[in-house]
Structure 1
Amino acid sequence: MFIREFKPADALTVNGLALMAFEQFRNAYKDWPGFRAKIAGMSSLADTGELLVAEIDGQIVGAVAYVGPGKPKADFFQREWPIMRMLVVAPDFRGRGIGRALAEACLSLAKRDGARFFALHTSEIMHVALPMYRRMGFEKVSDAPAINGVVYAVYLKRID
């Protein structure tokens, strides 16, 4: 597996990957078509942060956005916290450590940026991602606004 920076030519692949990754949750969101439309634009996160992709044999199988300290982010995050957004892994490639590798890459960027904490928001419906984040040392610090009826919370990790 190889993790690299997103290139504009990756946009359609990353957007399609995000849709595949979230499809399993379609019945959880009240307005799936509206939420799906937002997910389909994952590549636009490169405009406000650093988008990373994971490749295996030249195929993009995962992606995540890193938004550094001081960059614009949702009000429920402290401005100085770097965050990650939309960690996605292709369904056929789950269980291979891709998600963790992408999360660790974001933590490395946060260390590069001199951050003391790193944050994300996720939901209990993320049955694979949430336990992984907890194993990595993330702890719930607050509730976040629901997204289309799905409850979310903010998780924080101290960076040593």
Structure 2
Amino acid sequence: MNTISYRTANESDLKQLQSLGLLAYGQFQNVIGNENWELMKSRHKEDETYLSLLKVATCFVCENASELVGMAFLIPHGNPTNYFPSDYSYIRLVGVHPKFEGRGIGRKLTQQCIDFAKATGEEIIALHTSEFQNAARHIYESLGFVKQKDLDLIYGKQYYLYTLKLN
């Protein structure tokens, strides 16, 4: 019997994280086009994409038996990017295996990120999502995230910055 469980990931999960990323984000290939998909795919295949996140982030994963079927990375404040200022913690690469969508896994992983951010004293948690990730936007908005602004196009599509004040 297969059972769903949640835990934090580590470097030994690298290959499964990469495979999950390819499956979860691969469903958008037709939306973003082949050229943009090849770029996205190459980033998911690079070990450094996930290893660099694992060095600074807490990665929450969902397992079915021993297979990773969901993931979400929470990066603490002090790690600024072009989209996230240094005083923001932020969520990256929320992904769910297509066969496991609709079971609340993405919501639970996002909530785990929020809960951990609160427990570790973060004041703001942010994320970016896109015009084609409707299910994700619905989850984020239902958890209290508020759209702050439109971002530059990524993979040829509109992205948005969302934030949630924690304290």
Same fold (TM over 0.5): yes
Classify the secondary structure of the residue corresponding to 1:54.
strand
Local SS of the residue matching 2:31? coil
Higher helix share: 2
Match for residue 105 of structure 1?
A: 112
Q: Give deviations 1:42-88, integer Å, cap 9, x for gaps.
A: 53221231222111223211011110011x23222221111000100
Residue 52 of structure 1 aligns with an amino acid whose one-letter code is F
Alignment partner for residue 29 of structure 2, among 26, 43, 46? 26
Out of 119, 131, 142, the position equivalent to 1:124 is 131
Match of 1:12 in 2: 15
Is it true that 1:154 corresponds to 2:165 in the alignment? no
Structure 2 counterpart SS, 1:19: helix
Cα distance in 2, alignment partners of residues 115 and 8 from structure 1: 24
Q: Deviations over 1:14-69 (max 9, x none)?
A: 10111001111112334221111112345322123122211122321101111001
| Worse-superposed segment, 110-119 or 94-103 | 110-119
Residue of structure 2 aligned with 1:36, choices 24, 41, 50: 41
Which structure 1 residue ranges, 4+ long, deviate > 4 Å from structure 2?
A: none
Contact 1:69–1:113 under 8 Å retained in 2: no
Q: Report if aligned partners of 2:153, 2:159 keep a CA contact under 8 Å in 1.
A: yes
Gaps of 5+ in 1: none
Which residue, 50, 53, 74 being the options, matches 2:58?
Answer: 50
Identical positions, percent: 30
The letter of the residue matching 1:133 is: Y
Deviates more, 1:48-57 or 1:122-131: 48-57
Give the drift of 1:124: 1.6
How many residues end up aligned between the 2 structures?
Answer: 159
How many Å separate the matches in 1 of 2:10 and 2:166?
28
SS at match of 1:63: strand
TM-score by length of 2: 0.88
CA contact (8 A) 1:28 1:149 kept: no
Query: What is the aligned partner in structure 1 of residue 67 from structure 2?
Result: 59
Amino acid at match of 2:139: M
Equivalent of 2:5, from 2, 7, 23? Answer: 2
Q: Which residue of 2 aligns with 1:89?
A: 96
